[in-house]
Amino acid sequence: MKVGVIIPARNALPYLAEMVGSIRRQTHPVHTYIAEDRSDDGTYEWLRQNPDCWSGLHRNKKRLGWAGSLNAAAKLALADGCDAVFTASADDKLHPKCIARCVATLDAGGLDFVIPYARQFGAADHVQASLPDAILDDFAVWPPLIDKALIRRATWQAVRGYSPKATLPGSYGCAEDWEFWIKVWKVGLSKYAVIEQPLYFVRVHPGQLSNDRGEHHAATVALFRKLHPDLPWTEASGQWPPRHRTTRRAA
| Residue-level pLDDT at 72 | 98
pLDDT in tens, 77-115: 999 999 999 999 999 999 999 999 999 999 998 999 999
User: Taking CA 64 as the corner, what is the angle to CA 61 and CA 68, rounded to the nearest 5 degrees?
Assistant: 115
| Residue-level pLDDT at 216 | 74
User: What proportion of the chain, given as a percentage, has pLDDT over 90?
Assistant: 78
How many Cβ atoms from other residues are within 10 Å of residue 143's Cβ? Answer: 22
Per DSSP, 110 falls in state: T
Residue 201 sits in which domain range?
Answer: 3-248
9-22: average pLDDT: 96
| Residue-level pLDDT at 91 | 94
User: What proportion of the chain, given as a percentage, has pLDDT over 70?
Assistant: 90
Q: How many domains does the chain have?
A: 1
* Per-residue b or e along 53-84, where b marks 16 or more CB atoms closer than 10 Å to that residue's CB: bbbbbbbbeeebbbbbbbbbbbbbbbeeebbb
Three-state secondary-structure class, residue 107: helix
144 and 128 Cβ atoms separated by less than 8 Å: no
199/217 Cα distance (integer angstroms):
27
Per DSSP, 228 falls in state: -
pLDDT in tens, 205-251: 776 555 555 567 888 999 999 999 999 998 766 654 443 444 433 32
| Residue-level pLDDT at 244 | 41
CATH number for 210: 3.90.550.10
> Which has the higher per-residue pLDDT, 126 or 44?
44
| Residue-level pLDDT at 213 | 59
122-127: average pLDDT: 81
47-62: average pLDDT: 97
Q: Does this model's pTM top 0.75?
A: yes
Mean pLDDT of the chain: 90
198-206: average pLDDT: 91
